[in-house]
Structure 1
């Protein structure tokens, strides 16, 4: 272990006002992080010291931490594989420490410590003194530490309580958190049957503490998002809500701006507040004076008009505008706040969903934020990549952030890409005691305040996922949402017999629909009394199979795409469906329901963010003028694990072309057109073809795609495994040398033309040279994931240079790639 030696200095100008004072109780202030806060801000992501399990005294100022491990945020407390996660490895209390220095003359500056997310509870100390405790792993929290820091050396210590059963959503503590008394396991299907009953709410759940496997997703502990030290003047802008109004009427279009000013003193003269909106050749501004009449929070309202030339935010053209609020006192600059907004109108109606006045069918998937090896502790670039996969590869126009507020970096990418978002507060199938419910209301409030300036967020999930009825609590949740943001509608995902309930307090009725018709999924019709959306479908419950692994037979893998296409076809058949968000986008680690090796394999993309055969349907649903697509719903393979006669008589090819020509062994085999009879409502139905062929000669397959008589795409596939090769690719050519940034390196066995070779085995040995670290497993057992795997390459702090990754397959040789780690913001 290396002893911590680096000291980081924060410089800030001196303000001519008195120092702020801490609240008398020293607890966490109920504040929400503002990403637009423009101040002297010290990034606290580097130089943390991680001591492992908490030991008494480790929060003291003079505690000897020389044996602690130096780590960078985001950080996970446990060493995780890509499967078989064991919650016992993280469900403990852990200790982090961070040293920092402040200048000799601090001046009249207020200091705040801010954490974007700690899983799940945090006790934070400054220079040995407890400043507060926070419960909840999915939203930021901050506290003022002005009176506790001093010039020179300071230490922040964090006890991370990652134990299960804390009395906060989504945990299920029951009346006792004793690990010696646990409830019997119940399946997701049993919960569906129980949730609408009195037994579920009033007797069974509250009486017994549940194990962590009673929630559908693991929650690895750690300071798994970023941390900051902020220095601001005694009067500063704490929050800005910029609400576009009447966006479709160019004459009435305006932005109503609510500025929250935090003052530790009451100045003699008014302050000046200026709001500027600019972007895409447009600039507009307004200013006014405001009297600060009391210490604490003061609200100032302004309205920007003259916005006739604004461009709307849309899924195909997501225009964003910069908004800057500047605070001055006696003509001198004090502080500024930056945020981004977009102009769009999103309306859920009984007749469907409308974006900017036009009908649009919502088409998307649910997303969990957890990753192999790291849990949720992945940096901005990796979080953003998921949004790119959903929008650019899977052609989704919406994502549901199930079942908690997700990384701001993921949401940044959604804003920029035009990917609409359902954001919901933490929760899963359970309502706790009054303290638990109070924290759920707090989460709803903080979620909305954190993200209400985002145009991508079109609806708030303020009814917690799959929970029983509680009209009192959900009336309060609705009131909180409308008080904070009356520009968006609200919803909550219902399940089971609650489809017909009248006890619903939110605006849009969303339903997790896992009905089946024989072996295939089907959907209930839309309710007529609410705008109606399908919030989950298929998954492990209503598809033809419970698992969709690359090690499963090809017909199992292919059936996943068919199941997703079936439910989207039904949703497209009736305009009263606002849309459908299927389950799920990505495989994820879980300990309940249909799991294998502690993984839910119901994603159309695997843990390593590589699309499966199940993704072929989504990949094909794009305008061919943007990207012509041919994605077979099968593998062209005659190996020992594949059918000897090929893909079979009902092989599906997912494509957006209007005609396909197939060639087997260079001989013309078939001309096929889309199967509109089976999928009459899909924009781009699949092609069905009889591909029972003799594979003894290992023939190639060629598929040519045509639009209006013109060939626009051609793909080839080899069945000759002797020509296979080993492929290694990286997502990004450059990353930042900050010790946190990372990029994915994916590897797989492919055929001679680059198509995936199914069921490939062998081991992959990985190594790095240069200033980077490997986040992953070596050797990697390729056969355990059907021939595909990935690791992530993380930079080293302050060490730019070329990072070379080498992947050696036990049978097919090696492949190499290079990532350049660069200083500054260039990456």
Structure 2
């Protein structure tokens, strides 16, 4: 190769190594198996409401200027006493990462805007290795810089992203800077109007991951649709795409097989087996799986099960199942803020198990990957959702592209988790032709990416007197009839009238009630007719159970919600004080009376649907 060709190749490789992710890219699957350096901990931060560190006085981005210099990401130090530098990361305060800024500093409780984060870390990059900076989530728009060079930008407050930094990493000190902006915008996903706290910041883990030059970047191993005896999927390599042998080992299942990659580095997988113990809530079996090539090995724990719809039934491993569920937000009520790790996640899922659940709806956005893996381990089926919520900009092509990208990222991250049985494309979206087109395309995309799971959405209902009507044309595109109803709280004058409601449901499919409930301030006791009392919430649940028993196709419910959570929309100074009080557990972890009402119902249902 002549020198000019070598130089061109080096330039190409350098550009490729620092390019931002596009919609066609996927993150490194099971990144924790690749983690070389954990970057969690204390990060210096600066609040920048005018984005002075990003724009010059003409409001032009510094990182788009010819020099690419001038922003806070340069992390400049004064080398001469005459120098003018109007920021200083070294003497700035710190925030914990992972963690939101709202709960760490009282002055930032309601803050929406830009905050700059900086972390200095030491490493010694090794020849023949590739390196990636991985973020579990940053809310909402993140611009990322390493050693003064921009890696790229990511939108979406709940999905992971990464950038390759092989060419930029230095031996010794490296400076990682993140511009995090949680400002709400109409054309984003979610939009300006939500019912949860807009926690800003680097809310999930950050790490430096390391791989060989050619490595296993992605894989899917799940039971083939409607076939409990065939493990189907693929293994995708990144790097050299000449044909390579991939070995798959699942020793406990007696599986040792090989497959070969094609010119794009992809190897199909089809393994016949009759020795599998199937994953279920009663027996959440996970197998140790090893994938290896001549240059790389990665390991995972994967469960295998089938899920499908037959008439009005949901079949798990071929047996009818009733989804005894509860909705959960990604929020710790005891230590304010987003869930920070496995301990927080385990606490919420343990409460769900105590309630008698075999199923959880993780609303209204992708939750921490640790939550999904724990659900796998603990035996809880999962409804996983993207934040297409309420009044999205249905006709904006960029908004749709954003929603589809977030859905893709969710599916790509969690498609090897047996616990996930339903991909949800949204919640309570109002009827219109543009909305139907938007949502129908999302449903088709989810089915295309993963045909082994069910696809649904939490629909709205309409009422005519005591008739509750479910007739949303989006239902034609979904595998389940799933909808929210708030009889006894937002509609209906007397709780005793709830059993008089009847449901007219257009679609002949299993019915899932994705939300129901009412508020109760823990410790406030009165008669069952007094709003906000525990007795009112208890009576509401008792009458809901009677009302819902009239739906012959009912195969699951996820009442709203497991635990009280913060919301700026909830402003009653006595009963709410910026908390949504529909939780069955208070922000102090105290179980309300309705918790036991629902638990008794679930205990009865469990006897009818043994798993």
Identify whether the pair has TM-score above 0.5, normalized to the shorter chain. yes
Is 1:87–1:220's contact at 8 Å kept on the other side of the alignment? no
Query: Which residue is 2:390 aligned to?
Result: 429
Match of 2:101 among 77, 86, 89: 77
Q: 1:323: how far off?
A: 1.8
SS in 2 for 1:369: coil
Is 1:568–1:682's contact at 8 Å kept on the other side of the alignment? no
* Partners of 2:444 and 2:248 in 1: CA distance: 29
> Residue 466 in 1 paired to residue 461 in 2?
no
Q: Residues 239-261 of structure 1: CA distance to partner in whole angstroms, max 9, x if unpaired?
A: 11112126775xxx021131111
Q: 1:66: how far off?
A: 1.9
SS in 1 for 2:473: coil
Q: 1:106: how far off?
A: 3.0
Q: Which moved more, 1:474-483 or 1:253-262?
A: 474-483
Structure-2 change in CA distance of 1:585 and 1:266 (3 Å): closer
Query: Which residue is 1:482 aligned to?
Result: 447
Query: Which residue is 2:326 aligned to?
Result: 365
Query: Which residue is 1:533 aligned to?
Result: 511
> Residue 592 in 1 paired to residue 569 in 2?
yes
Structure-2 change in CA distance of 1:511 and 1:564 (3 Å): same
Is 2:470–2:503's contact at 8 Å kept on the other side of the alignment? no
Structure-2 change in CA distance of 1:260 and 1:266 (3 Å): closer
Q: 1:368: how far off?
A: 1.0
> Residue 447 in 1 paired to residue 447 in 2?
no
Query: Which residue is 1:580 aligned to?
Result: 557
Query: Which residue is 2:480 aligned to?
Result: 508
SS in 1 for 2:326: strand
Is 2:95–2:104's contact at 8 Å kept on the other side of the alignment? no
> Residue 300 in 1 paired to residue 279 in 2?
no
Q: 1:414: how far off?
A: 1.1
> Residue 138 in 1 paired to residue 158 in 2?
yes
Structure-2 change in CA distance of 1:98 and 1:620 (3 Å): same
Query: Which residue is 2:237 aligned to?
Result: 261
Q: 1:390: how far off?
A: 0.2
Query: Which residue is 1:620 aligned to?
Result: 600
Q: Residues 671-706 of structure 1: CA distance to partner in whole angstroms, max 9, x if unpaired?
A: xxxxxxxxxx8979xxxxxxxxxxxxxxxxxxxxxx
Structure-2 change in CA distance of 1:65 and 1:80 (3 Å): closer
Is 1:564–1:582's contact at 8 Å kept on the other side of the alignment? no
> Residue 605 in 1 paired to residue 581 in 2?
no
Is 2:17–2:166's contact at 8 Å kept on the other side of the alignment? no
Structure-2 change in CA distance of 1:287 and 1:78 (3 Å): same
Q: Residues 744-770 of structure 1: CA distance to partner in whole angstroms, max 9, x if unpaired?
A: xxxxxxxxxxxxxxxxxxxxxxxxxxx
Query: Which residue is 1:27 aligned to?
Result: 20
* Partners of 1:164 and 1:86 in 2: CA distance: 19
SS in 2 for 1:450: helix
> Residue 125 in 1 paired to residue 105 in 2?
no
Structure-2 change in CA distance of 1:353 and 1:528 (3 Å): farther
SS in 1 for 2:207: strand
SS in 1 for 2:370: helix
> Residue 327 in 1 paired to residue 293 in 2?
yes
* Partners of 2:595 and 2:149 in 1: CA distance: 52
Query: Which residue is 2:44 aligned to?
Result: 49
Q: 1:515: how far off?
A: 3.3
Is 2:191–2:392's contact at 8 Å kept on the other side of the alignment? no
Q: In angstroms, what is the RMSD of aligned CA positions?
A: 2.9
* Partners of 2:377 and 2:399 in 1: CA distance: 35
The number of residues matched between the two structures is 543
* Partners of 1:80 and 1:589 in 2: CA distance: 15
SS in 1 for 2:152: strand
Query: Which residue is 1:732 aligned to?
Result: none
* Partners of 1:230 and 1:422 in 2: CA distance: 29
Structure-2 change in CA distance of 1:572 and 1:312 (3 Å): farther
Structure-2 change in CA distance of 1:573 and 1:347 (3 Å): farther
More strand, by proportion? 1
SS in 2 for 1:455: coil
* Partners of 1:552 and 1:34 in 2: CA distance: 51
Structure-2 change in CA distance of 1:132 and 1:261 (3 Å): same
Q: Extract unaligned runs of 5+ from structure 2.
A: 1-8, 54-70, 78-87, 463-468
Q: 1:114: how far off?
A: 0.8
> Residue 495 in 1 paired to residue 495 in 2?
no
SS in 1 for 2:505: coil
Structure-2 change in CA distance of 1:404 and 1:600 (3 Å): same
* Partners of 2:442 and 2:313 in 1: CA distance: 24
Query: Which residue is 1:232 aligned to?
Result: 211
> Residue 164 in 1 paired to residue 184 in 2?
yes
Q: 1:61: how far off?
A: 4.1
Is 1:51–1:67's contact at 8 Å kept on the other side of the alignment? no
Query: Which residue is 1:176 aligned to?
Result: none
User: RCO (CA 8 Å, sep 6+): is it higher in 1 or 2?
Assistant: 2
More helix, by proportion? 2
* Partners of 2:456 and 2:579 in 1: CA distance: 28
* Partners of 2:91 and 2:108 in 1: CA distance: 25
SS in 2 for 1:437: helix
Structure-2 change in CA distance of 1:408 and 1:477 (3 Å): same
- Map residues 208-219 of structure 1 onto 2, 5 A cutoff: 214-219=193-198
Match of 1:383 among 345, 356, 364: 345
* Partners of 2:13 and 2:292 in 1: CA distance: 21
* Partners of 1:80 and 1:128 in 2: CA distance: 27
* Partners of 1:336 and 1:102 in 2: CA distance: 23
Match of 1:93 among 107, 114, 120: 114
Say which one has the larger Rg. 1
Structure-2 change in CA distance of 1:308 and 1:534 (3 Å): closer
SS in 2 for 1:238: strand
Q: TM-score, normalised by structure 1?
A: 0.61
* Partners of 2:594 and 2:458 in 1: CA distance: 24
Structure-2 change in CA distance of 1:20 and 1:112 (3 Å): farther
Structure-2 change in CA distance of 1:228 and 1:156 (3 Å): same
SS in 2 for 1:348: strand
Query: Which residue is 2:82 aligned to?
Result: none
